[in-house]
A = this chain, B = another copy of it.
Amino acid sequence: MNAFGRLFRVHVFGESHGASVGVNIDGVPAGLPLTVEDFLPDLERRKGGARGTTPRKEEDLPHLKSGVFNDHTTGAPITILFENNNTRSADYEKLRAFPRPGHADFVATEKFGGYEDYRGGGHFSGRLTLNLVAAGVIAKKLLGDTIHVTARITEVGGIADAAAGLEAAIAAKDSVGGIVECTVDGLPIGLGEPFFDSVESLIAHAVFAIPAVKGIEFGAGFAAAKMKGLEHNDAIIDASGKTATNNAGGIVGGITNGNPLVFRIAVKPTSSTPKEQNTLNIKSGEVETFSVKGRHDLCIALRVPVVLEAVTAMVLADLLLQVQRIPRIWK
């Protein structure tokens, strides 16, 4: 299934080099102002073109195919379509013999019996993060003026200065990974549930839907494993629940505690490195050297922040609907 959410429910579809990619969002309250222009800033942030990102000029214009009328949501499911125009499928045809390391080529063929659309990663493509960003735009609107979701790169290739990290990668002519941190201010106390609907469970679920993410940690995260209890515990210091420290990252018992929600994710290096690589030639049955051609990001992590904000906002909008903090008719 390609869907997520209980009351704010997002379904993604599409292929990199097929007719389109798109998203269907169900459960959006009626009356929310919404126009194509609302999507453009976040879609722009996601776009390639900057140094270290792909020069592919994508047609990223969202087409609102349902659920919007007179520039407001109607309460019916919203469908947003992005047409695919600027594709060079021939690039991929000749690569079929070489299942690209780090990509889904090999597993997709096993799983779908060779019927998968293999061009440009097909349904596995990072191009489908357009859908997540679009859903996130709506989710962010539902969060209102007091809740802010902000993600930023904190490390590229192990270097805290992202620009320097990227330069090092360019110099090395290899792709690199990175760390992205997300912070949410203004959340009420009480979102989430113990166990399977913990905020950590839901955010982690959504975050690992972003291609290339390989780790997530909340608050002190992995560092917490090395800490003592007295050091890690966040003392509550006032009746609003404010804590002296925030090692919990704003979540206790799976539930938001009114302090900033803080988490970090690890993004692996772009699998399509410019370097020559070894992999199996499935036709010859031999391990051979090959190169990924095409247009690729050197550091995909650079394009992740806006996607990370989007999936985080999706989870939070759903939880806010569940605790009735977002009305069913927008005011």
A: which residues have CB within 8 A of B? 1-4, 6-7, 9-15, 18-22, 24, 26-27, 30-31, 63-67, 69-70, 72-79, 81, 99, 101-104, 106-108, 110-113, 115-117, 122-124, 128, 155, 157-158, 169, 172, 174-179, 189-190, 193-198, 200-202, 204-209, 211, 213-239, 241, 243-244, 247-249, 252-258, 266-273, 275, 277-280, 282, 285, 287, 301, 322-324, 327-329
Contact = CB atoms under 8 A, between A and B. Distances in A.
Nearest to A329: B113
Contacts of A279: 235-236
Contacts of A27: 1
Contacts of A223: 266
A154 B79 CA distance: 38
Contacts of A11: 3, 11, 24, 26, 77
Contacts of A157: 225-228
Contacts of A200: 208, 213-214
A217 B218 contact: no
Contact of A122 (B76, B237, B258, B268): B76
A66 B13 contact: yes
A270 to B, nearest CB: 6
Contacts of A20: 65-66, 79
A27 to B, nearest CB: 7
B128 A195 contact: yes
B74 A252 contact: no
Nearest to A272: B229
Contacts of A266: 217, 221-225
A254 to B, nearest CB: 8
Given A69-B117, A175-B229, A222-B222, A101 B190 contact: no
